[in-house]
Amino acid sequence: MPEKKEIANYGGESKIFFQKTPFAEENLVVRVQAFDRGLFSKPYELRVYIHFGEDYPSAENDETDPEKCIPRNPYIIEHFVNVEIFHKKDNKMLDCLGWVTFMPKAECDLWDILKENRLSWEPRKIILKKYYDGFGYLRRIGLRYYDRKPANILMHHGEPKICDFGLACMSKPKEAFQQMGYLRKGAKFQSEMGRSLGAGTPGFCSTCQLFDGWNTMIPIFRLTVFFIFDWPSGTV
């Protein structure tokens, strides 16, 4: 019988479990993310493409970076391996149905830390600054990241790591970002005014569905509130 996997977490479209692999000495997390119900087709109707992070150089600046580069920063979760899943009839590979991503195993996410009020003000300021540094890096390489919430900030060896790139877009999408699970690839659903997230599902094709208006600083402000307030009392 196949080995039963220890489930770390699961959400609306993803399931995460621990796995021993040859890619690292410590256990990794495997994140299986389905973008489309086509992922539940019969096995022979699917095709997969496996990509290894070590094959790509680091992205530094959107204006000068080559096409074949990927995000790599101390405050961004590293994707060691990513598997893209397509339907076998999608010869042009326009609509990715899902990802299987191998990444480091984190101790917890920031949601749990803040909810349990484990941090004093000084550590909170340090984590918040590092998060801003990571977010600034993503903007510098041209990746617009919208899923900003404490649950998407993992703590790995004491350092915050931004994760979950299901809600991200670029004005000029890079193929390597898509291959390594940092940017969705899809053509089925496009929003108006060129603001598409390039998603394969209709629920993730417009940022205004997540936050009021197009002001991308609003979610940054809301996330900052989680850092500076004490949850049980609601006081600073």
179 close to 192: Cβ distance less than 8 angstroms: no
pLDDT in tens, 71-82: 999 999 999 999
Residues 5-37: b if buried by 16+ CB within 10 A, e if exposed: eeebeeeebbebbebeeeeeeeebbbbbbbbbe
Confidence (pLDDT) at 120: 85
Distance (Å, rounded) from C-alpha 22 to C-alpha 71?
22
For residue 235, being part of any structural domain is answered with: no
Task: Give the pLDDT mean for 140-147.
Answer: 89
Residue 235, Cβ neighbours under 10 Å: how many?
Answer: 8
pLDDT in tens, 170-213: 878 899 999 999 998 876 655 544 444 554 444 444 444 444 44
For residue 92, being part of any structural domain is answered with: yes
Domain residue limits at 79? 8-228
| Residue 19 half-sphere exposure toward CB, CA atoms < 13 A | 18
CATH of the domain at 219: 1.10.510
For residue 233, being part of any structural domain is answered with: no
Beta bridge partners of 10: 15
pLDDT in tens, 25-57: 567 888 888 877 666 667 678 899 999 999 999
Confidence (pLDDT) at 21: 61
Percent of all residues in the chain with a pLDDT value above 70, rounded to a whole number: 69
Q: How many domains does the chain have?
A: 1
3-state helix, strand, coil in the chain (%, to 5): 30, 25, 50
Confidence (pLDDT) at 138: 95
Confidence (pLDDT) at 14: 66
Task: Give the pTM.
Answer: 0.80
For residue 74, being part of any structural domain is answered with: yes
| Residue 9: its H or E element | strand 7-10
Averaged confidence pLDDT in the chain: 78
Distance (Å, rounded) from C-alpha 164 to C-alpha 101?
10
For residue 234, being part of any structural domain is answered with: no
Confidence (pLDDT) at 214: 47
180 close to 51: Cβ distance less than 8 angstroms: yes
Helix (H, G, I), strand (E, B) or coil at 222: helix
Distance (Å, rounded) from C-alpha 110 to C-alpha 41?
35
88 close to 45: Cβ distance less than 8 angstroms: yes
Distance (Å, rounded) from C-alpha 154 to C-alpha 101?
15
